[in-house]
């Protein structure tokens, strides 16, 4: 979900927009601490990379940390998508039927 | 009339600054300030701050905390050995009075204590200090084993206290040598 949020946000992916995107798409509020923990794990795996922006007064003089998906991360997102589609294929729910 | 305060809760900010020890702490705090300025409530800020501190503690402290626990325990074992070798019987535990053994055990215990203090403060050199102190402690145990064998004129035997010390040193060395987050040479603090 985090990877997809980063892809959707493009160059504006830092903590606040990422958590808003997650809230908008999943309907659940995710704590920023948890978002950063997940991003840290993804960064260690090489799926995302981060850069520091400039400090701003609105943030109490603190810089934004921008995240972007790496090529490895893109491949991983595609692999996960394919795996999920394969898992869904053939299930009644996938065709709009209810068990 | 806008009753919302313009500044986030001071105590929550202070706790974030002092207890959130992850590398993202600055960016995360900035995000919380930004969201608060956009209209989030004090309660929201508090909830986010506490979660960030707890998640940060779970991420950053686990290995370091375990290492501190192991090394502090080993320091206590060394100090306990020093007391026994000083000729003091503690309950059912007693050892022959051997001054050099006491000196070596105190030295090893202090060395480990120094490393524990370094790990608690978390400077970049903490890993190197911890590694050195464990090697010093290992040398101390080896010295004790050899001295015991010479003294008793028997082959080298490893007493229970030395086994415990070596096991703790071994565990610490494994953690120090194989746990390098981000591929760095430092323990994440």
| Top-confidence residue, B20 or B141 | B141
B20-41: average pLDDT = 83
pLDDT at B182: 45
Q: Is B138 exposed, middle or buried (0-12, 13-18, 19+ CB in 10 A)?
A: middle
Residue at A99 is within a domain: no
CB contact under 8 A, B30 and A60: yes
| Helix or strand run (H / E) with residue A83 | helix A71-88
Q: Does residue B7 carry a pLDDT above 70?
A: yes
pLDDT at B2: 45
Least confident range from A42-51, B10-19, B64-73: namely: B10-19
Count how many domains chain A has.
Answer: 1
The top-scoring range by mean pLDDT among A53-67, B16-30, B58-72 is A53-67
**Is A98 inside a domain boundary?**
no
pLDDT at B154 over 80: no
The complex scores an ipTM of 0.81
Out of A19, A37, A55, whose CB is closest to B55? A37
* Cα→Cα distances B38→B8, B17, B25, B42, Å: 11, 21, 20, 12
Q: Tell me if A10 is assigned to some domain.
A: yes
H helices within chain B, ranges in order? 10-19, 25-37, 42-85, 99-121, 126-152, 160-178
- Interface test with chain A among B14, B23, B31, by most A beta carbons within 10 Å: B31
Cβ contact, residue pair B27, A33, below 8 Å: no
Kindly give, in sequence order, each residue whose CB lies less than 8 Å from that of residue B186, ignoring residues fewer than 6 positions away.
Answer: B124, B126, B127, B180
Question: What is the pLDDT at residue B1?
Answer: 41
Looking up residue A25, the CATH number of its domain turns out to be: 1.10.10.10
Would the pLDDT of B181 be above 60?
A: no
Mean pLDDT over B39-51 rounds to 90
What is the Cα–Cα distance from A97 to A99, expressed in whole angstroms?
7
The model's confidence at residue B62, banded by pLDDT at 50, 70 and 90, is: low
Task: Convert the pLDDT of each residue in B80-112 to its tens digit.
Answer: 999 988 888 888 888 888 889 899 999 999 999
Residues of A near B (Cβ–Cβ under 8 Å) read 14-16, 19, 31-34, 36-37, 39-40, 44, 52, 55-56, 58-60, 62-65
Asked if residue A21 is part of any domain, the answer here is: yes
Every domain of chain B and the residues it spans:
10-55, 61-183
Domain extent at residue A13? 2-93
């Amino acid at each position: 979900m985090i990877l997809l949020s980063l892809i959707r946000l493009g160059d504006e992916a830092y903590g606040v927009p990422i958590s808003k995107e997650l809230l908008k798409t999943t309907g659940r509020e995710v704590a920023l601490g948890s978002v950063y923990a997940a991003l840290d794990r993804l960064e260690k795996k090489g799926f995302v990379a981060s850069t520091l922006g400039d400090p701003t007064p609105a943030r109490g003089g603190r810089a934004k940390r921008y995240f972007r998906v790496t090529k490895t991360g893109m491949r991983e997102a595609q692999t996960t998508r394919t795996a999920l589609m394969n898992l869904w294929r053939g299930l009644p729910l996938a065709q709009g039927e209810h068990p | 009339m806008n009753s919302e305060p313009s500044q986030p809760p001071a105590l929550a900010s202070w706790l974030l600054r002092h207890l959130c020890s992850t590398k993202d702490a600055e960016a995360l705090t900035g995000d919380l300030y930004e969201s608060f300025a956009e209209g989030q409530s004090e309660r929201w800020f508090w909830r986010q701050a506490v979660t960030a501190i707890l998640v940060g503690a779970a991420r950053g402290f686990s290995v370091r905390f375990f290492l501190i626990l192991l090394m502090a325990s080993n320091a206590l074992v060394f100090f306990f050995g020093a007391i026994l070798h000083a000729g003091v019987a503690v309950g059912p535990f007693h050892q022959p009075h051997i001054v050099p053994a006491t000196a070596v055990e105190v030295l090893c215990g202090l060395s480990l204590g120094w490393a524990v203090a370094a790990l608690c403060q978390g400077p970049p050199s903490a890993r190197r200090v911890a590694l050195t102190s464990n090697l010093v402690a290992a040398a101390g145990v080896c010295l004790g084993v050899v001295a015991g064998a010479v003294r008793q004129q028997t082959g080298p035997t490893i007493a229970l206290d030395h086994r415990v010390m070596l096991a703790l040193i071994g565990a610490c060395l494994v953690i120090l040598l194989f746990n390098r987050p981000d591929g760095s040479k430092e323990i994440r603090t």
